[in-house]
Structure 1
């Protein structure tokens, strides 16, 4: 049998990761064995081993896959949004929507597994940097009052980390998606001219 073309392998891997992420988002991952994952994805364990060498590596790779796709989806959501205030609101709301697909179990498992939590933390840092850019653009455009953009972004980042660490949920009962929408409303109202 001739080897499969590289695009098939890549497409197949992406499809498997998409299905894996869907499973993890819906049910979490800590309780699942590799046998259960393979059964649920209707593939063999050896197929899973082509994605990663262990369950831990598979979870980490799936988490990276999720956040990579999430970043693309968030940027697509704000691509046509023109006003700085609207861009920040759309950006944080889009982050909330993407995270809205994650079950409570997934978020708990993510927080309890350091390699996956580190992926979430790194993506939170990237999102905070993006908020800083959006605020700086708004200040330069006169839409936002002359705030220290890095401070405002750091304030947002602090809240984003608290959201990621589940502290906001514990204190308020808001899920991550709701928390990001509230953050967007408070942030843009507070810095508007």
Structure 2
């Protein structure tokens, strides 16, 4: 008589990979599954099956499902922050030419639109995570948006002359608008391109910000 264990089909074995390559593969698979199914509906078995590895191999890279989820979130957050850093760099590097303020606002909006364009539904791991019951986990998930807000606030504080508390509020409003518009476009876009979204949202934001720029803000050639 054959036992259930004997009759069970063995897990398919994938090709051998270097450690770094295997880690990247596992992160990519986890990213797809978490984005489409949600954290609570994906098991380590699901990820191991998709990667064609044993669970011990998976656990050697990531001790738990939460560790794997947070590694995915960190990777996504790093990509978003790099785009935001690139967007604000021209203002901080200076000198600032007239008309360049709107270009920087557009670059920030574009950073979010391009992020959701590349990441697709996986962008929700940063914007709409379903792992929010634990404050430490929530803080880790929200780190990228918080850091992006802080970097934008640095620029706004200098350009508007407002105190830091005001700059933080303005930056949070800019980030929320860019993030919300980008996510809406991803899910409900009517076929018009990403640039149209960037133009619309940055125009809205700049019309509000332009009136807040301090009169003595140094412009090149002014």
Whether contact under 8 Å (1:63, 1:116) holds in the other structure is no
RMSD: 3.9
Distance 1:35 1:112, change over 3 A: same
Q: Which residue in 1 is equivalent to 2:53?
A: 43
SS at match of 2:71: helix
Shift of 1:96: 3.9
Question: TM-score normalized by structure 2?
Answer: 0.58
Report which of the two structures shows the higher radius of gyration computed on alpha carbons: 2
User: Hey, what's the Cα distance between the residues in 2 that align with 1:79 and 1:177?
Assistant: 27
Shift of 1:127: 0.6
Gaps of 5+ in 1: 1-7, 140-145, 169-173
User: Hey, what's the Cα distance between the residues in 1 that align with 2:25 and 2:206?
Assistant: 38
User: Hey, what's the Cα distance between the residues in 2 that align with 1:10 and 1:127?
Assistant: 28
Correspondent of 1:127 among 148, 151, 155: 148
Correspondent of 1:86 among 99, 103, 110: 103
Shift of 1:112: 5.3
Shift of 1:130: 1.4
User: Hey, what's the Cα distance between the residues in 2 that align with 1:79 and 1:157?
Assistant: 18
Moved >6 Å (runs of 4+): 77-82, 161-164
Shift of 1:154: 2.0
Distance 1:53 1:103, change over 3 A: closer
Q: Which residue in 2 is equivalent to 1:155?
A: 170
